[in-house]
Amino acid sequence: MSLDLSGLAAVQSRMLSIQDRFAAASVSVPASASADTFASRLAAATADTSAGTAVAGADPAPATTAATGDQVVADARRYLGVPYVWGGTDPQHGLDCSGLVQRVYADLGVDLPRVAADQARQGAPVASLAQARPGDLLAFGDPVDHIGIYAGNGQMVVAPKTGDVVKVEAVYRTPTAIRRILPDPLSPSGVPSLAAGAAGPATGALAAAPAAYRDLFTAAAARNGVPASLLASVARAESGFNPSAVSPAGALGLMQLMPGTARSLGVNPLDPAQAVDGAARLLARDLRTFGSNELALAAYNAGPEAVRRYGGVPPYAETRAYVQRVLAYQNGGGA
> Catalytic positions, please?
238
- Within 33-137, residue ranges assigned H as helices are 35-46, 69-77, 97-107, 116-119
Determine the Cα–Cα distance for residues 317 and 11; give it in Å rounded to an integer: 71
Measured between its terminal Cα atoms, the distance across the chain in Å is 82
DSSP-assigned letters across all residues of 245-273: -B-TT--BTTTTB-HHHHHHHT--TTSHH
Determine the Cα–Cα distance for residues 55 and 136; give it in Å rounded to an integer: 20
- What is the radius of gyration, based on Cα positions, of the chain? 23
H helix or E strand, kind and range, residue 223? helix 211-224
Contact (CB, 8 A) for 25 and 104: no
